[in-house]
Structure 1
Amino acid sequence: MKKVTVSGKTVEEAIEQALEKLNVPKDRADVRVLEEPQKGFLGIIGGKPAVVEAEIKPDPLKEGLAFLRETIHHMGVTASVSEEKTKEGARFEIAGDEIGILIGKRGQTLDSLQYLVNLVANRYSEDYLRIVLDAEGYRERRRESLEKLALRLGNKAVKTGQEVRLEPMNAHERKIIHTALQSVKGVGTYSDGEEPNRRIVVRPK
Structure 2
Amino acid sequence: MKQVTASGQTVEDAVQSALKQLNTSADQVNVEIIDEGKKGILGLFGSKPAIVKVSIAENIVARAEKYLKSITSQLGVEISVETTTNSNEITFELSGEKIAILIGKRGQTLNAIQYLVHLFLNKSSDQYYTVIVDAEGYRKRRVETLTQLAHRLADKSVRTRREVSLEPMPSYERKVIHTTLQNNSKIKTYSHGNEPNRHVVIKPS
Report if TM-score (shorter chain) is over 0.5.
yes
Q: Which residue of 2 aligns with 1:179?
A: 179
Distance of aligned partners of 1:23 and 1:118 in 2 relative to their CA distance in 1, 3 Å threshold: farther
Partner letter of residue 23 of structure 2?
N
SS at match of 2:95: strand
CA apart distance, 1:63: 1.1
Partner letter of residue 71 of structure 2?
T
Rounded Cα–Cα distance in structure 2 between residues aligned with 1:86 and 1:39: 47
Q: Which residue of 2 aligns with 1:60?
A: 60
CA apart distance, 1:175: 0.2
SS at match of 1:127: coil
Would the aligned equivalents of 1:60 and 1:122 in 2 still touch at CA under 8 Å?
no
SS at match of 1:12: helix
Deviates more, 1:77-86 or 1:141-150: 77-86
Rounded Cα–Cα distance in structure 2 between residues aligned with 1:132 and 1:33: 38
What aligned pairs does 1:67-78 form with structure 2 within 5 A after superposition?
67-78=67-78
CA apart distance, 1:43: 4.1
> How well do the aligned residues superpose, as a CA RMSD in angstroms?
1.8
CA apart distance, 1:124: 4.3
Structure 2, unaligned runs of 5 or more: none
1:118 correspondence with 2:123: no
Q: Which residue of 1 aligns with 2:28?
A: 28
Rounded Cα–Cα distance in structure 2 between residues aligned with 1:79 and 1:157: 42
CA apart distance, 1:108: 1.3
What aligned pairs does 1:42-191 form with structure 2 within 5 A after superposition?
43-191=43-191
Would the aligned equivalents of 1:59 and 1:124 in 2 still touch at CA under 8 Å?
no
Q: Which residue of 2 aligns with 1:198?
A: 198
Structure 1, unaligned runs of 5 or more: none
CA apart distance, 1:91: 1.9
SS at match of 2:71: helix
Q: Which residue of 1 aligns with 2:12?
A: 12
Distance of aligned partners of 1:202 and 1:15 in 2 relative to their CA distance in 1, 3 Å threshold: same
Rounded Cα–Cα distance in structure 2 between residues aligned with 1:46 and 1:127: 45
Rounded Cα–Cα distance in structure 2 between residues aligned with 1:170 and 1:89: 18
Distance of aligned partners of 1:148 and 1:90 in 2 relative to their CA distance in 1, 3 Å threshold: same
Aligned residues: 205
